[in-house]
Amino acid sequence: MDSGIKVTRETEFYQGFIRFKMSVSNETPFVITNVNLDFRFDDDLLRIDIYEPSSYQTKNGKIILGNIDSGRSKSIAVLFDPLLCSKGTDLDCFVTYKDAQGKFNSAFMDSKTISVVCPMLKTDSDINIGRLKEFIEKLPSRDSKVYEIHQGFEISKLAGIARKVVEKHDVRHIRTLHTTDGRNCEIWYYGKTKVHKDDIVIRISIVADRCILELFAATKSAEVLTGLLAEIGRDLKHGVEVRASGKGNVINVTIKDSVIQRSNLLDLCDMDGTCPVNLIVEDSLIQHSNIGSRRDGEELKRKEIEEQEKLKRQQEEEEEARLKKAEEERLRRQLEEAARNAEEIKRKIQDELRRQREEAERKQREEERNRKEKEALERKQWEEKERKQREEKERKRREEEEKARREREEQEKRRKQREELERKKLEEAEKAQAPRQTVQNPAQKKVPPKKPGSSSGKGILVFSLIFGVLLIGAAVSFFGLNDDSDDSPQEIQTVSATASSENTEEDTSETTASSAQTSSSQNSDTYTNSIGMEFVKIPAGEFMMGSPSGEKDKCSDEGPVHKVMIEEPYYLGKYEVTQEQWLEVMGSNPSRFEGDNLPVEKVSWDDVQKFIEKLNEMEGTNKYRLQSEAEWEYACRAGTTTRYYFGDDESKLGDYAWYGDNSGWETHPVGQKKPNPWGLYDMYGNVLEWCQDRWHDNYNGAPSDGNAWEDGGSSLRVKRGGGWNDKDRYCRSADRRGFDPGRLSSYEGYAHFEYLGFRVLMDI
């Protein structure tokens, strides 16, 4: 018990009740608040009748004492009504309060064991009024229960009811006294307990002036007295309510100690049994001391014997009826107990099944959450890696640009040097030519003039000019070829690369045409609707659904492997539904990665159902729907039995799918990767694809005709095929997952599920 709180208690037996007095003292230096008393006891044995003072409030079965100042205490008296007799039952009290810091604290009261003994009565001898009065005076434990009767108060009728109730307990009737005006009546009984042979006196008092009925008893033991008043009091109140007053019209009246031992009619009689003339004595089985006639005595004795025999027969009949009723009640209780046990077993089984189901769902959610967290971590690592790669690429690009800039500056510098060299050479050539002309002119003056028609001087001048020009040209050619040697091959190489690129594009076009021709040859039956959605006809057939036990990366929800028969062919979307097609049907685009030919994403299962409903209205049909999980896997495998429809080697997955290792963590236009053998694109990766089925933990009980499995299971819906953010193991043909059909808010680090899309099936 908390050292700062002191709880004291005491008990006493009072008017057939157990009065429990309790005091709570605050020995701390601070005020304690919100003090509550929570009594703990066996509800089958005890019941709280009233408590005093009644000003205390109750809440949820607890009595609220409120606040207690430092060094003060609060007390309460609680009256417990014993419902059954018991050798001992524990009464506990749990005290809760708030300390000065506002923290909740508690204290336990020491348990109090309470016993209520219902005596086994047996009476073989009679007593007279004198002995009766002596017993009343000497028996130490005396108490009474008083009932106020609001309706149907009739003394004679109430007296008859009281006698039938009391005499069931094997006590002997001593006297019935009533006044001549009929306003007061007393019925006296005497008996002994079977075990300890203790004397018991019982009195029934009926007072018309106050409309009350009092049950008085006196005996040696307080425990026996309380049990006696509780047992007979309940039967007496019930009998009056049933036969005279009506339920709710008999009220317990709590009386004070000072009025318990009130005067009674028996006090008016002498010790020899002589009573005043205004007091009528009835049903007396004891010989009066003032009766002197022998004949009268014999007559009284005869009547006494007859009355005893009558009473004995009546008691035997009542005992037999009581035993019969008790046996019937025992059988009824056994049947009720058996029914309760069966119901309890059923409830426990249902609770266990529900618990197992909830545990399985919890584990599934936990696995899904762990997977999401792992994928989020991988995504974060991938983005960090991509960021570093982009930074490294940007750094290299800047280095290359800087290198190219320096090369251009170096080339420009060399060009200027060439021009300067050419200019100097030209000037030197011109200077070399000028002295020649200067030397030749004096000679020409000394030489006699030639005859007209002579051309030797002109020829020499022309030859010199031609020689100089040739010399300059040779120098220019020599230096120009050396400086431009790096540029010419680049131009040649560029032209060659362009030609190569053109050839490559031509080869690619031829390859694409060849691939399309091959695909068409594999499955030539196709269909295109009014909004450009292309469909491929999937033939009827059968396949083994699920992953075998030895498959790499197999999960428990992919088995058991079972045969599925697809009885009718159907059209399945050649590509995943694009954003352009969604926008044309729905009028808005929910996708994160925007592009007309990109697959639509961020769509819930419920959104897909609305799209299909509107598409059917636009096309004037009801043949469009989501494929079942079996129809999806059948079309995906396309007759194959390996992990992927191209084999078991995951290293080839990049040729067929956009997934975590090659997607750059975003969606891509549909149809860019290789199709499966039946001409379907992006069955792996890009976006996960909704199916019609509800999620089940395995294939036990799954349909074998290819229809959607919509009964049982959980509220989740199936998604297949893997997405742009998935590892290769989640893109296998047998891989399957479940998800909430209407939930698209931010969850576990993923922004609005930009990896969820679908493709459409059209019935033929």
Question: pLDDT tens digits, residue range 70-108?
Answer: 889 989 988 887 766 655 678 888 888 888 888 888 887
Q: What is the pLDDT of residue 492?
A: 28
The Cα-based distances of 328 to 110, 242, 333 in angstroms read 41, 21, 8
Considering only residues 201 and 445, tell me which one the structure prediction assigns the higher pLDDT. Answer: 201
Phi and psi, residue 715, nearest 5°: -80, -5
Considering only residues 594 and 120, tell me which one the structure prediction assigns the higher pLDDT. Answer: 594
Q: What is the pLDDT of residue 21?
A: 86
Confidence of residue 501 (pLDDT cuts 50, 70, 90): very low
The Cα-based distances of 548 to 509, 558, 562, 699 in angstroms read 40, 8, 10, 13
List pLDDT tens digits, range 653-675: 999 999 999 999 999 999 999 99
Both structure tokens of 463? 């030859």
Confidence of residue 265 (pLDDT cuts 50, 70, 90): low
Residues linked to residue 193 through DSSP beta bridges, in sequence order: 121
In angstroms, the CA 109 to CA 76 distance is 14
371-398 burial: b if 16+ Cβ within 10 Å, else e: eeeebeeebeebeeeeeeeeeeeeeeee
Whether the per-residue pLDDT at 524 is higher than 60: the answer is no
Comparing C-alpha atoms, which of 213, 203, 227 is closest to residue 81?
227
List pLDDT tens digits, range 464-498: 566 665 666 555 444 443 444 343 333 323 333 33
Q: Which of 116-125, 685-694, 707-716 has the highest mean pLDDT?
A: 685-694
> In the block, which residue shows the tokens 């524990």?
90
In angstroms, the CA 199 to CA 136 distance is 10
**Taking the chain, what is the end-to-end CA distance rounded to the nearest angstrom?**
80
Confidence of residue 623 (pLDDT cuts 50, 70, 90): very high
Q: SS3 for 515?
A: helix
Both structure tokens of 731? 């893109």
Both structure tokens of 353? 């099944």
> In the block, which residue shows the tokens 């729905």?
586
Whether the per-residue pLDDT at 705 is higher than 50: the answer is yes
Q: Which residues contact 400 (CB under 8 A, 6 or more apart)?
A: none
Share of the chain above pLDDT 70, in %: 75
What are the DSSP calls for 303-318, one per residue? HHHHHHHHHHHHHHHH
List pLDDT tens digits, range 293-318: 345 456 656 766 776 677 677 767 87
Both structure tokens of 196? 């300890």
**Do 629 and 720 meet the contact criterion of CB atoms below 8 Å apart?**
yes
Comparing C-alpha atoms, which of 414, 360, 216 is closest to residue 697?
360
Confidence of residue 126 (pLDDT cuts 50, 70, 90): low
The Cα-based distances of 746 to 375, 521, 740 in angstroms read 15, 45, 13
Mean pLDDT of 750-757: 70
Q: What is the pLDDT of residue 439?
A: 45
List pLDDT tens digits, range 377-398: 887 887 787 788 778 878 888 8
Considering only residues 342 and 434, tell me which one the structure prediction assigns the higher pLDDT. Answer: 342
Considering only residues 264 and 699, tell me which one the structure prediction assigns the higher pLDDT. Answer: 699
Q: Which residues contact 139 (CB under 8 A, 6 or more apart)?
A: 199, 201, 218, 219, 220
Considering only residues 613 and 389, tell me which one the structure prediction assigns the higher pLDDT. Answer: 613
Count other Cβ atoms within 10 Å, centred on residue 249: 16
295: enclosing H helix or E strand: helix 294-446
Count other Cβ atoms within 10 Å, centred on residue 227: 22
**Do 632 and 699 meet the contact criterion of CB atoms below 8 Å apart?**
no
In angstroms, the CA 159 to CA 175 distance is 12
Considering only residues 407 and 465, tell me which one the structure prediction assigns the higher pLDDT. Answer: 407
Prediction pTM value: 0.37
Polymer length in residues for the chain: 764
Q: What is the pLDDT of residue 624?
A: 97
In angstroms, the CA 160 to CA 641 distance is 94
Q: What is the pLDDT of residue 464?
A: 56
Whether the per-residue pLDDT at 272 is higher than 90: the answer is no
In angstroms, the CA 276 to CA 579 distance is 113
Both structure tokens of 400? 């290359």
Q: What is the pLDDT of residue 289?
A: 32
**Do 200 and 138 meet the contact criterion of CB atoms below 8 Å apart?**
no
Q: What is the pLDDT of residue 601?
A: 94
Torsion sign across C-alpha atoms 54, 59, 65, 66:
negative
Comparing C-alpha atoms, which of 551, 522, 719 is closest to residue 638?
522
List pLDDT tens digits, range 525-569: 899 999 999 999 999 999 999 999 889 999 999 999 999 999 999
Q: Which residues contact 451 (CB under 8 A, 6 or more apart)?
A: none
Q: What is the pLDDT of residue 461?
A: 52
Confidence of residue 686 (pLDDT cuts 50, 70, 90): very high
Comparing C-alpha atoms, which of 76, 84, 71 is closest to residue 30?
71
Whether the per-residue pLDDT at 749 is higher than 50: the answer is no
Q: Rounded to the nearest 10 degrees, what angle do helices 294-446 and 456-483 cross at?
A: 160
Both structure tokens of 362? 């919890």
Cα 626 to chain center, whole Å?
30
Considering only residues 627 and 56, tell me which one the structure prediction assigns the higher pLDDT. Answer: 627
What are the DSSP calls for 262-274, one per residue? ---GGGGS-TTS-
Q: What is the pLDDT of residue 585?
A: 96
In angstroms, the CA 328 to CA 324 distance is 6
Q: What is the pLDDT of residue 664?
A: 93
Confidence of residue 751 (pLDDT cuts 50, 70, 90): very low
Count other Cβ atoms within 10 Å, centred on residue 370: 11
Q: What is the pLDDT of residue 457?
A: 45
List pLDDT tens digits, range 165-175: 888 777 888 78
Whether the per-residue pLDDT at 420 is higher than 50: the answer is yes
Largest CA distance in the chain: 221
Both structure tokens of 81? 């009504």
Both structure tokens of 1? 């018990």
**Do 228 and 157 meet the contact criterion of CB atoms below 8 Å apart?**
no
Q: SS3 for 496?
A: helix
Whether the per-residue pLDDT at 450 is higher than 90: the answer is no
Q: What is the pLDDT of residue 86?
A: 58
Average pLDDT value over all residues in the chain: 78
The Cα-based distances of 425 to 344, 431, 481 in angstroms read 118, 10, 17
In angstroms, the CA 505 to CA 496 distance is 14
Considering only residues 682 and 751, tell me which one the structure prediction assigns the higher pLDDT. Answer: 682
**Do 724 and 686 meet the contact criterion of CB atoms below 8 Å apart?**
yes
Comparing C-alpha atoms, which of 285, 289, 286, 293 is closest to residue 272?
289
Torsion sign across C-alpha atoms 595, 598, 602, 607:
positive
Q: What is the pLDDT of residue 196?
A: 64
